[in-house]
Chains A and B, each alone.
Chain A
Amino acid sequence: MNDLKVYPYFTNDLFIIIFAIQFTTFKTLTLHRELSVPFPSAREADVVYQVLRVDKEPSRSEVTKNITLNNNILEVSFSGKEARKVRVALTSFFDNLVLVTETIEKFGPPEPTYSHYEANN
């Protein structure tokens, strides 16, 4: 199967990942979770990275989220003290991730570069 067409399956996989994480976060004191999300191309991963890195976690969430980009793989780590808050941060991250990938799927593919980071014209 062509990699570009796997979004619907990919979306289902996300929810399986959520459940796996919920069962494993209860035992440790500082909860730390890492995720790797592969994309069909490096540019698509870059778009998702650029879009998601802008919003900071709400301060009351007490969860630190760190997003990095490694070629076509988006790497995200979450750490926090309360399982409930880490779970909320993860759920909201997946909601956002799904929305962005759906937008790419419907309105993509992306232009090769983005040239308005500094804006002002």
Chain B
Amino acid sequence: MTEYAHPEVLVSTEWLAEHLEDPAVRILEVDWDPASAYGLGHLPSAALVDWKRDINDPVRRDILSRDQFVSLMERLGVTPDTTLVLYGDMRNWFAAFAFWTFRIYGHADIRLLNGGRRKWFEEDRPVTETVPDFATASYPAPEATTGLRQFLPGVRDILGRSDHGLIDVRSPAEFSGAISTPPEYQNEGAQRSGHIPGAVNIPWAQAIQEDDTFKPVDQLRELYQSRGVTPDKSIVTYCRIGERSAHTWFVLTYLLGYPRVANYDGSWSEWGNAVGVPVEKPGAEVPGSVPA
């Protein structure tokens, strides 16, 4: 089997078990719902990164600012030389989002725990409720990398272009417009359901196996290339708020080595609320049209 394009960005549960006390490694659990995950038990020496509080701007809709990133790293005792190992709840979606965000701010050595919480618990490895305390570190302000992120005008510009590919990684029901937003996520609702015209639907979970580890590279290549998502194109991934699509962004960028992949984190919660943007919804009646 061929190896992933960048195998260094993944660590196994075995590797991590041997590096729990490694001072060069900082283990971060990135949770959407810390009370249901980190708060009940986490990997020894892992610190919590609360997705809502720590990775997002608290007021406007945006990822954390450069200054907020620096503050977060310093609070976690992270320097630019620290190896960050990320894992988290919801099958590593939010860990992948944090990976993407930290990469935007240029942190060099970031790795994802292959299989995440699910595999760690499945293997009955040690878990604790103890919250570690790290000495504050100094982290110089980095420059942000812009090519990893796409915004609504940029997505609109690539519609219909054959040198670009759009992947909608939501479930088929969301892609078709049968459902828009689960009721428990009212602040992620959209006025319209459906998908961005030209997008192919490759649900994020098709990239992983039963134990949440990533599929072998040959299977991943087949999965995406058979749907026209090829490395010669500039690829944009999206979902509802950009976290599932960060997972697919990670797969395409680091496991398959695609050179130009951006995550559109505005995703459907932005596109589906925007005025005047085109929406594809198979089977939808167009007002004013005459039924056949």
Q: Note whether A and B form a binding pair.
A: no
- Chain A residues at the B interface, C-beta cutoff of 8 Å: none
Chain B residues in the interface with A (C-beta under 8 A):
none
